[in-house]
């Protein structure tokens, strides 16, 4: 019931109610994972449905996304783990043409919480920018996020640019986003796909041979 209320408060853009419900659920002993997935992400799922049916204006979805971020700020300290940069160096960005950043940010937060050294490349990231980052930071893994079916194919350009620059043997590539699948990841020559930010950690460890 409270999870539904939290989802609705995200959808309504009610920041005060969203943060206080997150605090209340934590105090009641709910796990931050459950509050995130069933409450906060639930609100964005409702926003997505509203977008699809045309019931919501884009401005309303932007407000819901900002409200999500406020709620998430309450949960974030509860995900903090022991930093261990020896685990690996990762850079993550949202593919060019795509400005969605929430999924990417959650993946970054979870990888950091589990000890990876993570560089945030931001949104609308070109293939060249991924290559530059791989060279500058001697990356072990590049992570690419794509939210739109129209931008997903850009991930293939990143794989190719990494190959063209002689980096493909050294740097693993992982991909994700709501329309991305394991089969799609393989088809573009990536090394793996993660369904959510929790799977992203398992995948990154696997790619590092941990
Ligand atoms: C919020 C939102 C917006 C906000 C973005 C705000 C922000 N700061 O990000 C705004 C309003 C700006 C927006 C704009 C648009 N949006 Co939008 N948006 C959404 C919405 C509601 C939520 C997205 C989200 O944050 N989800 C929550 C996160 C936690 O989930 P996630 O992104 O899937 O990420 C998880 C996993 O996928 C995975 N993951 C993600 N990345 C990676 C990377 C790696 C390496 C790994 C391992 C895993 C991984 O882990 C994440 C965490 O668990 C979705 C609908 C939905 N239900 O998803 C539509 C949606 C994605 N948007 C859509 C559309 C069409 C648009 C617009 C084109 C609308 C328009 N007419 O202008 C524009 C595009 C702008 C652009 N060029 O990018 C469509 C996409 C349809 C499609 N299949 O292509 C959707 C699905 C809505 C819909 N049903 O129509 N949007």
Buried b (16+ CB within 10 A) or exposed e, 179-206: ebeeebbeebebbbbbebbbbbbebbbe
Q: Residue 81: its pLDDT value, please?
A: 65
Q: Average pLDDT, stretch 14-35?
A: 96
85-207 to CATH, choices 3.40.50.300, 3.40.470.10, 3.40.50.2000, 3.40.50.280: 3.40.50.280
Q: How many angstroms separate the Cα of 139 from the Cα of each of 16, 118, 172, 194?
A: 39, 9, 9, 19
CA atoms within 13 A on the CB side of 48: 11
Domain 2-79 CATH (choose: 1.10.1060.10, 3.40.50.300, 3.30.930.10, 1.10.1240.10)? 1.10.1240.10
Ligand 1 site, residue 58, Cβ cutoff 6 A:
yes
Pocket flag, ligand 1, residue 98 (CB < 6 Å): yes
Beta bridge partners of 95: 125
- Any idea where the domains of the chain sit in the sequence? 2-79, 85-207
Q: What are the tens digits of pLDDT across the range 91-122?
A: 999 999 999 999 999 999 889 888 899 999 99
Closest of 19, 4, 52 to residue 178, by C-alpha: 52
pLDDT, the chain, mean: 94
Closest Cα to atom 1, ligand 1: which residue? 65
Q: What is the mean pLDDT of residues 25-30?
A: 96
pLDDT digits (tens, 9 = 90+) for 161-175: 999 999 999 999 999
Q: Is the beta carbon of 65 within 6 A of some atom in ligand 1? A: yes
CA of 148 to the centre of ligand 1 (A): 7
């Amino acid at each position: 019931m409270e999870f539904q209320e939290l989802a609705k408060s995200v959808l309504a853009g009610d920041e005060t109610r969203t943060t206080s419900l997150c605090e209340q659920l934590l105090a009641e002993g709910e796990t931050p994972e459950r509050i995130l997935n069933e409450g906060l992400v639930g609100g964005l799922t409702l926003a997505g449905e509203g977008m699809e049916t045309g019931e919501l204006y884009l401005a309303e979805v932007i407000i819901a996304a900002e409200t999500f971020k406020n709620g998430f700020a309450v949960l974030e300290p509860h995900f903090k783990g022991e930093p261990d940069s020896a685990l690996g160096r990762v850079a993550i960005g949202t593919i060019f043409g795509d400005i969605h950043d929430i999924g990417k940010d959650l993946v970054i937060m979870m990888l950091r919480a589990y000890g990876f050294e993570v560089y945030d490349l931001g949104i609308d990231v070109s293939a060249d920018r991924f290559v530059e980052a791989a060279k500058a930071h001697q990356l072990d893994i590049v992570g690419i996020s794509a939210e739109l079916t129209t931008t997903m194919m850009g991930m293939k350009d990143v794989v190719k640019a990494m190959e063209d620059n002689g980096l493909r043997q050294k740097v693993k590539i992982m991909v994700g986003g709501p329309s991305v699948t394991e089969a799609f990841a393989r088809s573009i020559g990536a090394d793996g796909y993660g369904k959510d930010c929790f799977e992203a950690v398992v995948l990154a460890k696997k790619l590092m041979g941990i």
